[in-house]
Amino acid sequence: MTNTKNSNHLLSPEAYEAAFLRNRLKKVEAELFALQNSTFWRATAPLRMSVDKVRCLVRENPRLARFLKGILFRSRSRPVPGLPEAERKGESVPSLDELKITQKKTFEADLKQFLEAGNRLDIKKSDAPRVSILLVLFNQAALTFRCLRSIAAELNIPIEVIVIDNNSQDETSAMIKQISGITYVHNRENINFLKAVNQAAEMACGDHILLLNNDAALLPGTLANAVFRLENDPENGAVGGKIILVDGSLQEAGSIIWQDGSCLGYGRQQNPDAPQFQFLRTVDYCSGAFLLIRRNLFEELDRFDEAYAPAYYEESDFCMRLTKAGYRVLYDPCVEILHYEFGSSASTEQALSLQRRNRKRLVEKHQETLTKKPAASPGEILNARDLTQYHGRVLFIEDRVPHDALGSGFPRCRTIVQSLIKLGMFITFYPLRFPKEDWDETYETLPRQVEVMLDHGMESLQHFLQERQGYYDYILVSRPHNMEIVKYLYDKHPSLFKGMDIVYDAEAIFALREIRKQEVTGRFCSPRKYQKQLEDEMNLARVARNIITVSPLEAKHFTRAGYNNIHVLSHSLKPKPTPALFEERKGLFFVGSLDHDDSPNVDSLVWFVKKVMPELKKRCDIPIILTAAGGAGSRQVLDLTSEELVLTGRVEDLAPLFNFTRVFIVPTRFAAGVPHKAHEAASHGVPMVTTSLIAEQLGWQDKKDLLIANDPVEFASRILDLYENQALWLQLRENALARIQTECSKKKFEEELEKIFCSSSTQHDAEE
């Protein structure tokens, strides 16, 4: 998202209050999320409850949000714009028109102060601009001044600013005299917006042109984000983004053109931070209030069609011509502007009248294309918001956003998302158990074209399915506890799932893990109860058309339960052996999330440190250091005191640690599925010692692919065998790398997913 840091001295605080509030609240939420995952948080339960209540109230109560904004910005000398005395006293909330009047007065006061003080505004002009910013003026000097100040803050992209003044009669000419770095043309008469844009485009030298209304202001970083997106793919022809009104609501997040030529700004008057506006889409068009276009394409398509003069629908027409020529028009949520709206028109009614006239012209010109568009209907908005031709739509239900550092099957989940996108699927990712995340971190993990439904969670799932009934072709559910919720809804409301194939990704058979855990901890449980636990978990798959397991071993349990629609999907990794030589490496390495006391990772590390490391000490003159990477919030782990143990916490890139490690350990005593960390260590060329449980899950052989040990003495002995025997180390390294090459190939992973989804849809169509 955009960054407002260090921009206060360049931009008007009043122009950016709404954006600052949203960005500041995002940072607060990110800090709160980090706090919730700390050891300290568990000792402050009352504080947690209070903060959660406040956060909920802020989301649901705009008035409270404005109050908090006042606290966040109380150091500012100016009052919050658009917040008259009545609002501060808890009376009626100002309307959009009232806010526009208030803001315009502020902008006029800023311009007056600028002119009277004789100040200067310098816009850095490049001799080799990447972007030519085109501004068309007709009066409204205060709005223009606000717009130019936002442009002046865009220092990361070489620009030129071309200003066409259609004979303004207000303070515009006086203002321009105090601004440097722009190309200014004063027309003797008002040739209106469209012709003035074409006039400016003829003068442009940049690789791209930016159409920017003079009643708009760039939010910091917006231009750089738009240029990155446009240049990311040669098929991208134009980029637009979120247009935010003065009350902080959306004007549009990309626009839809209906069959009758009418247009709809997607998301009008909704929250700009809502999940449905946070992902990258191909759209019919984006408003000319901000539209970045490749200049060569603007010229090849003969610029704006002057039949639409003086204004309106010219950008709709151009984007339709751009799409017809084989290029994409993209909506990018990281591109954000504040828009006064109709600030450059003589009146709102005049603007609407021009829109009605030019709509007819659009229909006449693009009749063949428009007949293929859906008729204007609220029920068609979801389908019409994205022009991309997908092979299918998938609702992916998981515990949380799958950050790699979390382990626990989340790296595999992330790979599934990436592979489905490659297969041409649209993904809505629904974090069921942990729905609160920071947007920046979310999209560092997931591709930007994935729709991520943050802030929904379990309590909103039924309503979400009702709202989007008939929209998805598949629902992919990961993990038994999530499948239990989906199955409950399916049994209670089967109509919600009509036309949708359910795919169950078991990820791991949790009953097997619980059974082994009870055995390890010495708790007695009858065989009958064991069998009941397993049967209950197997029954969750009854509503699924396809079942995914992570290993052939777990697939057998589903086969025994009578299923035949089973697919094995392990991990997708390629061999990337770290280069350090045997003699350059030292120490042991452990990877796993260590936040919860009752987890398999915590049990295995505690067991290893308390039982195995003393055996190593007996046999070694030189201490062997164990490095453990992963969140370390568990009290049991924090209580481990050993000079030979190094806790790193979460590590984003494990490759350097793998490079200098001699032996990887997986001392897991109870678990299910296939451990990604074992495959990851093997892919980096680090031989390992594991328990027989892990070797069984991997399907790998002792003394060929890895070494197996179960009791402390044996585990220590096997570590030393591998630690001191270079020939054995090299043998296991090469054999494990060969296993990764065969069993974890990306091609094999994607082909299996293609069988599940693409062939599933063909079969489903045949049945229909």
Residue 85 has pLDDT above 70, yes or no: no
pLDDT value for 199 = 97
- Taking 3-state DSSP, the helix, strand and coil percentages for the chain, each rounded to the nearest 5, stand at 45, 15, 35
pLDDT surpassing 70 at residue 682? yes
Q: What pLDDT is attached to residue 238?
A: 98
Annotate 140-191 with DSSP letters as a single string. -HHHHHHHHHHHHT--SS-EEEEEEE----STHHHHHHTEESEEEEE-SS--
Question: At 518, is the pLDDT very low, low, confident or very high (cuts 50, 70, 90)?
Answer: confident
pLDDT tops 90 at residue 444: yes
Position with higher pLDDT, 336 vs 31 = 336
Give yes or no for residue 82 having a pLDDT over 60: no
pLDDT digits (tens, 9 = 90+) for 576-606: 999 999 999 999 999 998 988 888 999 999 9
C-alpha to C-alpha distance for 510 and 490, rounded to whole angstroms: 22
**Residue 64 clears pLDDT 50, i.e. is over it:** no
Phi–psi pair at 493, nearest 5 degrees: -135, 70
pLDDT of 55 strictly over 90: no
SS3 681: helix
> Which 3 state secondary structure label does DSSP give 287?
coil
Instruction: Give 282 or 47, the one with higher predicted confidence.
Output: 282
Question: Do 477 and 428 form a contact (C-beta atoms < 8 A)?
Answer: no
State the average pLDDT over residues 345-370: 84
User: What local confidence, expressed as pLDDT, does residue 355 receive?
Assistant: 84
The lowest-confidence range among 133-142, 203-212, 635-644 is 635-644
In which residue are the tokens 């709709």 written?
A: 316
CB 115 within 8 A of CB 175: yes
Reference 335, options 246, 430, 216; nearest CA is: 216
Instruction: Give the number of other CB atoms < 10 A from CB of residue 553.
Output: 18
Evaluate if residue 57 carries a pLDDT over 70.
no
Cα angle, residue 269 at apex, residues 338 and 462 outer, rounded to 5°: 130
Question: Is residue 523 packed enough to be buried (19+ CB in 10 Å), middle (13-18) or exposed (0-12)?
Answer: exposed
Tell me, what's the pLDDT at 513? 77
Q: Would you call 31 exposed, middle or buried from its count of C-beta atoms within 10 A (0-12, 13-18, 19+)?
A: exposed
How far apart CA 587 and CA 583 sit, in angstroms, is: 11
The values of phi and psi at residue 393, to 5°, are -115, 135
Q: What type of residue is 409?
A: G
Query: Average pLDDT over the chain, rounded to whole?
Result: 86
Res. 762 pLDDT band, cuts 50 70 90: very low
- State both tokens at 181: 């770095």
Each residue's pLDDT tens digit, 288-334: 999 999 999 999 999 999 999 988 899 999 999 999 999 999 999 99
Query: Does the structure show a pLDDT above 90 at 515?
Result: no
CA 202 – CA 209 distance, rounded (Å):
11
534: pLDDT confidence band, cut at 50, 70 and 90? Answer: confident
pLDDT at 382 over 70: yes
Band (441; pLDDT cuts 50, 70, 90) = very high
Residue 417, C-beta contacts closer than 8 angstroms, at least 6 positions apart: 396, 402, 427, 429, 446, 447, 450
Asked if pLDDT for residue 79 goes beyond 60, the answer is: no
CA distances from 13 to 8, 55, 176, 388, 396 (A): 7, 25, 22, 38, 41
From CA 722, how far away is CA 451, in angstroms rounded? 46
Neighbours of 690 (CB within 10 A): 28
Q: How sure is the predictor about 724, in pLDDT bands with cuts at 50, 70 and 90?
A: very high
Q: What are the pLDDT digits (tens) for 162-220?
A: 999 999 999 999 999 999 999 999 999 999 999 999 999 999 999 999 999 999 999 99
pLDDT exceeds cutoff 80 at 21? no
pLDDT for position 112? 94
Distance CA 546, CA 567 (A): 8
Per-residue confidence (pLDDT) for residue 760, from 0 to 100: 53
Q: How many CB atoms lie within 10 A of CB 278?
A: 22
pLDDT band for 766, please (50, 70, 90 cuts): very low
196 CB-side CA count, 13 A: 28
Residue 375 has pLDDT above 70, yes or no: yes
As to burial, measured by CB atoms within 10 angstroms (0-12 exposed, 13-18 middle, 19+ buried), residue 307 is middle
Averaged pLDDT for residues 125-138: 96
Number of Cβ within 10 Å of residue 419's Cβ equals 20
pLDDT at 3 over 70: no
